[in-house]
Structure 1
Amino acid sequence: MVALNQPQSDHRRAFQQLKTRLHRQMVDSIDLSKAGELGPDEFRKQMQALASHLASRSELSDRDRDAMVRELMDEVYGFGPLQELMNDPTVSDVLVNGADTVFVERNGLLERTDVRFADDDHLLNFIQRLVGQAGRRIDEVSPMVDAKLPDGSRLHAVIPPLALRGPTLSIRRFKNRIVQFEDMVRVGTLAPEMADFLVAAVKSRQNIVLSGGTGAGKTTILNNLSRFIPLAERVVTIEETAELQLQQPDVVGLETRVPNVEGKGVISQRDLLRNTLRMRPDRIIVGEARGGEVLEMLQAMNTGHDGSMSTLHANDTRDALHRLELMIALSGAELPTRVARQYIAAAIQLFVHVARLSTGERKVMRISELTGVVDGEFQLEDIYVFRSAGIDERGKLIGSFYATGHEPVALRRMAARGIELDPGLFTARELKTGGEYKPAN
């Protein structure tokens, strides 16, 4: 019996414990041989009837009984206790730190929920079910997993003995609607002039690297930039976990493969990049550069695959350059620093740094142009920057975007491809945001 006079947290725990017992009774009662005979719709109806019958035998209020039936069905077909959170379009991340601790991210800020699992075993079984649906496994031998769920969301789980306080789970929500540049300009993620410049950079086949921290919005901007790749071009994407949603008709999506139980069969991003060059791509998009595959990516950018793009984790555009140097070293290529820097400068024209700030807002903090290497040092020129002036009494960021006055060398390459931009876009001044925005054709 779930006592209704208990504190809310105790009530939720008792509810989940009862649900776990009823769920086990459902599993014991299921005749899986009938599933194929009845068909999925009829079998689901019978499961619903069984859940209603079991819930009616428990001393629950009408409201709790309805909730019990709903959550029992979620345990079988959905996301269990997390279903309500997964149905909420404002939730971008669901973070489970243990049976009693569930956080969500809304609008860039974390908040704790009252969602509970019955116990660690309930949470562990839930994780194993989700991982199994994704065709992966998680157990004491393989206690950590990355997987893509059927709805496109990205899952990461760690269980004991690696997770000291019980099983942990992180789900990055899949969004059916990609946030567009129009939306980003309206909410102040970047200024219209910055958006126009990036659109022209993609159309004129500039090689672009986006940097930022976890959840900063790198993939969102990369998806936006891909909208402006001409439809006649062939694009190959390489990702560890597929997140990109390209709209072009000729797109080949490749995803890495983790090793099997015997530790064999692994396919890395580097392996995929080497094979990509044989697939006649016009552009290559690497979802996130992490290691030695950077060398192959730079080679592709240097050998006829202009307009390629990637993301990487970094604190700033200059830090992104140092990360690239480090990843070249991880590739095993013993290149002198001077040569590695020349190689990077020849391959990449633009760096875009994105940040998620303490207020939860996301901003394009800097768009920079790599103009070359002089005396062994990178020549990195800021084109646009965001300057913060603090936080107001409502908790909103105070700050503005600015054009620095640097006229990009890339303008000549754009002009050579028939794309003309007004030099006034780069006059040193403060830029305005908000309002309606329409990308130039």
Structure 2
Amino acid sequence: MTSTVPSHAVAAVDPVLLETVREALLLDGAAVTDERIARAVRASGHVLGAAGTLHAVRSIRAELTGLGPLQHMLPATGLTDVWINGAREVWWEAGNGPVRVASPFTNDDEVRALATRLISAAGRRLDEAHPCVDVQTPDGMRVHAVLPPISTGGTLVSVRFRHRDVITVEDLVDSATVTRQVLDLLLAATAGGANLLVTGSTGAGKTTVLNALLSACPAHERIVLIEDAAELRPAHPHVVGMQARHANVEGAGAIELAELVRQSLRMRPDRIVVGECRGAEVRELLTALNTGHTGAGTVHANSADAVPARLAALGALGGMSSQAVALQAGSALDLVVHLDRRGSRRVVQAVSLLEEAHGALHMNPACSYNGEGYTPGPGWDALAQLAQRGEQS
């Protein structure tokens, strides 16, 4: 699907004016605001008039802090991702699947300049020595960039936007992500201290659902969030967060998730949450959840049935045998909530209990989505018992 550039798109600003304003704004190092930009435009000596000044302010702000010539093409609401595939292809998603739009870039140098600026804003370098970089910008965007010749089709830029508003449990029901009945069971189980693992593919809604479930935790709990990039924002009165740090250009200074999990144990947490388990940190999380702590995390997985194998693979990265992973996970984790994408919708595809038997992990399905509603499985009564325990606590 292809669309044309919206009528409100703003053409590129005069490069001389842009550089003049950029230098003026850098003099005092204060935050870039529309008022400061307008003042710098007027001081530059360019006679633009009211409409021309407004146009220049919007364009310059986009060039300095936003997505450059793309900024004023973006949808006002619902935007989740933007993909720039070289100078010729631009796609975005705003809730209805990927949509291709007319590219405002004339050559790959413009795309590379944008990618370099976004990466630099997060304190990292994008160049021939570092051609693949993943960062989170100060305003919360997740940016991944790849330069040629690693990329064979020009500079690649992937941007994921943080939700401006926290998604509530009511939003999950309204968007048909989950039914009220299943959601109430999950909320009660979470409030009662059940340890959760939210799984699914990239963009399936893991962070969104975990955010909503954590909001149901009792107000007296202290929740410690540990993430590679800060995305979780549960509506809870006592939340503290820590974020991993990549190595600097000399290859030093990295702080991994596993170290942050160990640090969290000294922070008197009631609930430890790892935003995304990708490797050895799963060992630290399972250890913590087996020593009296409550917690949650997310893991990439193709299906609920694939979770035992995924945990075994992640545990191996931390030096754990598959049997050790099964024993630790079987006692540490209660529920697996698996999400899937169905067109533009995100759906809780299955809820299962994670159980260990004879040194191996097994999934005990509590319910699964059949396209219209949920079909109870053999673990339904056990899920109801977890929820009942939460309601009584």
Residue of structure 2 in register with 1:404 after alignment: 377
Secondary structure of the structure 1 residue equivalent to 2:373: strand
Amino acid at match of 2:323: R
| Percentage identity across paired residues of the two chains | 33
- The 5 A counterparts of 1:15-414 are 19=12, 22-27=14-19, 31-32=23-24, 35-36=27-28, 43-49=36-42, 53=46, 70-86=58-74, 88-306=76-294, 308-333=295-320, 335=321, 337-357=322-342, 359-373=343-357, 375-388=358-371, 399-404=372-377, 406-409=379-382, 411-412=384-385
Secondary structure of the structure 2 residue equivalent to 1:74: helix
How high is the TM-score relative to the length of structure 2?
A: 0.88
Assess if the C-alpha contact under 8 Å between 1:98 and 1:120 holds in 2: yes
Q: Would the alpha carbon gap of residues 102 and 113 (structure 1) be closer, same or farther in structure 2, given more than 3 Å must change?
A: same
Post-superposition Cα deviations, 1:59-102, rounded to whole Å, max 9, x if no partner, equal: xxx99997566324421343212212445212211111112211
Secondary structure of the structure 2 residue equivalent to 1:32: helix
After alignment, is 309-318 or 273-282 more displaced?
273-282
Q: Would the alpha carbon gap of residues 405 and 26 (structure 1) be closer, same or farther in structure 2, given more than 3 Å must change?
A: closer
**Which ranges of structure 2 fall in alignment gaps of 5 or more residues?**
none
Post-superposition Cα deviations, 1:9-67, rounded to whole Å, max 9, x if no partner, equal: 9xxxxx96xx37x22453157653884399966641233337893879xxxxx999975
Secondary structure of the structure 2 residue equivalent to 1:139: coil
Assess if the C-alpha contact under 8 Å between 1:317 and 1:368 holds in 2: yes
For the pair shown, the structure with the greater C-alpha radius of gyration is 1
Post-superposition Cα deviations, 1:298-338, rounded to whole Å, max 9, x if no partner, equal: 011111112x00001001112111110111111123x3x33
Amino acid at match of 2:376: A
After alignment, is 282-291 or 248-257 more displaced?
248-257
Amino acid at match of 1:310: G
How high is the TM-score relative to the length of structure 1?
A: 0.79
Post-superposition Cα deviations, 1:182-208, rounded to whole Å, max 9, x if no partner, equal: 122123211111101110111111111
Assess if the C-alpha contact under 8 Å between 1:207 and 1:309 holds in 2: yes
Root-mean-square deviation (CA), in Å? 3.1
Amino acid at match of 2:335: L
Q: Would the alpha carbon gap of residues 30 and 299 (structure 1) be closer, same or farther in structure 2, given more than 3 Å must change?
A: closer
Task: Tell me, in whole angstroms, the C-alpha distance in 2 between the residues paired with 1:33 and 1:67.
Answer: 18
Alpha-carbon offset, residue 376 of structure 1: 4.0
Q: Would the alpha carbon gap of residues 66 and 101 (structure 1) be closer, same or farther in structure 2, given more than 3 Å must change?
A: farther
Task: Tell me, in whole angstroms, the C-alpha distance in 2 between the residues paired with 1:52 and 1:84.
Answer: 25
Amino acid at match of 1:285: V
**Which ranges of structure 1 fall in alignment gaps of 5 or more residues?**
1-7, 10-14, 57-61, 389-398, 421-441
Count of equivalent residues: 388
Q: Would the alpha carbon gap of residues 43 and 371 (structure 1) be closer, same or farther in structure 2, given more than 3 Å must change?
A: closer
Alpha-carbon offset, residue 147 of structure 1: 1.7
Question: Which of structure 1's runs of 4+ aligned residues deviate more than 4 A?
Answer: 28-31, 37-42, 62-69, 410-418
Alpha-carbon offset, residue 235 of structure 1: 1.3
Task: Tell me, in whole angstroms, the C-alpha distance in 2 between the residues paired with 1:419 and 1:273.
Answer: 30
